[in-house]
Amino acid sequence: MSVQKIIDEIESMAPFSQSSLQIIEMMSCPESGSSKVARVVKKDANLAANVLRLANSSFFGLKQKVDSIDHAVTIIGSKRVLEIALYSMTSAALKKPQLGYALKGGELWRHTVIGAAFAREIAIEQNLDNAEVVFTAALIKDLGKVILSRHLAEAEKEIDQLVFEKKMPFCEAEKKILGIDHAELAAIAFERWSFPENLIHVVRNHHLQKEPVIAPKETCIVFLGDVICSILGIGSGKDGLAYRFSDDILLRYFDIHNFHNLVSSLFSRISQLDQLADLL
């Protein structure tokens, strides 16, 4: 299997609609107006139906019934509507089993929903003004696994030997055996779909796989959300603990004394986030 053939499989992924691209752009642009958000969501019937279903779910616990997208934007806010739209766009692909990573159905989805929520909370705590970019990047960063999984399953022995016997970081093993890693593959897909560049940069580097790297804070936070999921074993497959771990980079941003506190505080949110992942 050539790298080009793997890259060409991007076309077989559930295509992102024009509305999806606009939603991704609006997530990266905090000043998007609520009327624009409603207009874009309304254009996509499936998306609109999902937004209404979730806005009326027990997760939001609204006393009144939300009966239109305009109403949803008014009641739960345009940011939450965009967030729901983003979940709707990614859930089908991420819910599938990813056998090459030893992930059964629903596990990658759970990892993604919880990791993205963790990353956003850390971004807010770190006073980043673009927490939604961090959230969006964390939610789409593993879409490359959906394509690579089957190829990894076919090369299981070679991958396991490199990762667990020769201690090679998982991304490097993917690249050595298949010619490309899942982060790069997702970044190439998002370039084809004209996603914003800052988002593509975070996705491409979300494992901080290139050393030395002066990673932007957004990338470090997405990485940290992922790391905390791996520590807690949330939707982690056999690759969960097998990435390069750059603690020196994290130490530039995070106080180690607060790290255990951070993990405790995020863990206490898991049951609520599990409820959300089940609803989507």
Q: Which stretch binds another protein (CB under 8 A): 72-80, 119-127, 213-221, 228-236?
A: 228-236
Q: 8: how many CB neighbours lie within 10 A of its CB?
A: 11
Select the residue interacting with another protein from 144, 196, 225, 235 (CB under 8 A).
235
Query: From the CA atom positions of the chain, what is the Rg in Å?
Result: 18
Q: Does 245 bind another protein (CB under 8 A)?
A: yes
Applying CB under 8 A, what is the total number of residues that bind another protein? 37
Name which of 4 and 264 has its Cβ closer to another protein: 264
Q: Which stretch binds another protein (CB under 8 A): 24-32, 43-51, 130-138, 239-247?
A: 239-247
Q: Does 125 bind another protein (CB under 8 A)?
A: no
Q: 214: how many CB neighbours lie within 10 A of its CB?
A: 7
Name which of 124 and 263 has its Cβ closer to another protein: 263
The residue written with tokens 């989507």 in the block is 280
Q: Does 60 bind another protein (CB under 8 A)?
A: no
Select the residue interacting with another protein from 24, 122, 230, 249 (CB under 8 A).
230
Q: Which stretch binds another protein (CB under 8 A): 45-53, 62-70, 214-222, 264-272?
A: 264-272
Least Å distance, CB 193 to another protein, is 31
Q: Does 58 bind another protein (CB under 8 A)?
A: no
Select the residue interacting with another protein from 35, 67, 164, 197 (CB under 8 A).
164
Least Å distance, CB 207 to another protein, is 12
Q: Does 225 bind another protein (CB under 8 A)?
A: no
Residues within the interface to another protein (CB under 8 A)? 97, 99, 102, 104, 107, 163-164, 167, 227, 230-238, 240-242, 244-247, 250-251, 256-257, 259-261, 263-265, 267-268
